[in-house]
Amino acid sequence: MQKPAKHQKLNLLQVFRGIAAVMVIFAHCDLIFNQNFQKDFLGKILNFGGSGVDFFFVLSGFIILYIHQSDIGNRSKLKSFFLKRVTRIYPIYWVVLTLKLSASLFFAYDPDTSQRNILEIFKAFILFPQRQEILASSFLGVSWTLSYEVFFYIIFGLLIGLKPKLCFPLISIWLLLTFTHFIGVFDLPKDSFMLNFIFNEHNLEFFLGCVAAYIVSKQKIPQEMTLICLGAFLYTLGAINYYYKVVDISPVISFGIPSMLLVVGSTSLEMKKHVHVNKILIYIGNASYSIYLMHGFFINNITKLILKVAPDITQNILILNILGLIIAVIALLFGCAVYSYIEKPLLSIFKPKLATT
């Protein structure tokens, strides 16, 4: 598979990252509003924003294959690949996790603090898969998604570190089992957390991203705008269905496939001609990881503070919704500040040339 232009930056993908992060902020606003205020945020119309995670997974699959496709089968590239991934994921994550743990310890706002054990903390720091209820109550609620990211990196690392005649059959079998489990051919024991993690449908979204990268590498996409419009239309249908619950359908289908179409169309378009993208949107995309890590921590604490200072505010839905929008914007700005003053310096310290994806 021929790699596209080496130094070409895909700014539209950065915009998608920023949009996905903002979507997640709105979804978590409703979640935290329900927890702390016992009220819905904007009538739950933005709850589909949780699909930003599905978008992130597709984007991750695309970017990894887009950048590292020439490394497949080249064992000498394995160390560099994992060094890039570790540098990109862990430093700022460790900072935010430590901040969260320190705040819960010193300010004692977390009732589950005393229930943590060393093993759970260690697993949280290395992003070893743990149940979402443990992560949400004691660590960072979004870190379950990062565990899937790390798992995908390990799978892709097999493509780099092992001979094709060995790794391709292994990965093909895993994908086949994951897909057949997804379509209901067989069931896994519900009490087996690791099996359900390894063969979870979310892993298929990384695969969709890889498929998108493969299609784009062929550089023969004649109807880019058609794909973009179709992807946006299907994503909108998925959002409407998520709100009204007309059909019980997996996010892989309702959001993963539309995300793949959007990625294929937008990247193919940008490779053919210059697309002007607002610098602020690109910046938000660059800051999306910090935004993603920090927004829940910020929203949770600011809403608890508001509840203490003005408990009667929950009686006025209009004011509460306006307040929620303001909090969402501040959470976005807070994440951007963390990116500029913590994440970027950290990346420059650990490995300057690896902070590119």
Give the pLDDT band (50/70/90) at residue 287: very high
CA-nearest of 303, 284, 357, 306 to 24 is 284
Taking residues 11-29, report their average pLDDT: 96
Give the pLDDT band (50/70/90) at residue 110: low
Give me the numbers of helices (H) and strands (E) for the chain, helices first please.
16, 0
- Cβ-contact 266, 11 below 8 angstroms: no
Predicted pLDDT of residue 186: 92
Q: What rounded mean pLDDT belongs to the chain?
A: 90
Q: Higher-confidence residue: 141 or 350?
A: 141
The pair of structure tokens assigned to 21 is: 């992060």
The most confident of 88-97, 109-118, 304-313, by mean pLDDT = 88-97
Examine the pLDDT at 20 and tell me if it is beyond 50.
Answer: yes
CA 57, 203, 20: angle at the middle one, nearest 5?
15
Examine the pLDDT at 114 and tell me if it is beyond 60.
Answer: no
State percent of the chain over pLDDT 90: 77
How far is the C-alpha of 164 from the C-alpha of 169, rounded, in Å? 8
CA-nearest of 204, 188, 191, 195 to 251 is 204
Give the pLDDT band (50/70/90) at residue 223: confident
Predicted pLDDT of residue 220: 72
CA 235, 321, 250: angle at the middle one, nearest 5?
25
How far is the C-alpha of 353 from the C-alpha of 190, rounded, in Å? 43
How far is the C-alpha of 12 from the C-alpha of 9, rounded, in Å? 9
pTM (two decimals):
0.92
In eight-state DSSP terms, residue 218 is: T
How far is the C-alpha of 309 from the C-alpha of 34, rounded, in Å? 18
- Cβ-contact 331, 25 below 8 angstroms: yes
Taking residues 48-71, report their average pLDDT: 96
The pair of structure tokens assigned to 200 is: 């979870």
Q: Which residues of 157-195 are buried (b: 16+ CB within 10 A; e: fewer)?
A: bbbbbbeeeebeeebeeeeebbbebbeeeeebeeeeeee
How far is the C-alpha of 216 from the C-alpha of 265, rounded, in Å? 9
Q: What is the pLDDT of residues 224-272, one digit of tens each?
A: 999 999 999 999 999 999 999 999 999 999 999 999 999 999 999 998 8
Predicted pLDDT of residue 357: 44
Q: Higher-confidence residue: 353 or 233?
A: 233
Q: Higher-confidence residue: 355 or 183?
A: 183
How far is the C-alpha of 327 from the C-alpha of 321, rounded, in Å? 10
Taking residues 180-195, report their average pLDDT: 94
Predicted pLDDT of residue 3: 44
How far is the C-alpha of 300 from the C-alpha of 62, rounded, in Å? 32
Helix, strand, coil shares, percent, the chain, to 5: 80, 0, 20
CA-nearest of 55, 27, 38, 2 to 141 is 27
Taking residues 13-39, report their average pLDDT: 95
Predicted pLDDT of residue 107: 61
Examine the pLDDT at 1 and tell me if it is beyond 60.
Answer: no
Lowest mean pLDDT among 49-63, 96-110, 128-142, 301-315: 96-110
Q: Higher-confidence residue: 207 or 1?
A: 207
Residue type, 288: S
Query: How many residues does the structure list for the chain?
Result: 357
Q: What is the pLDDT of residues 132-185, one digit of tens each?
A: 888 877 788 899 999 999 999 999 999 999 988 899 999 999 999 999 999 999
Taking residues 64-71, report their average pLDDT: 94
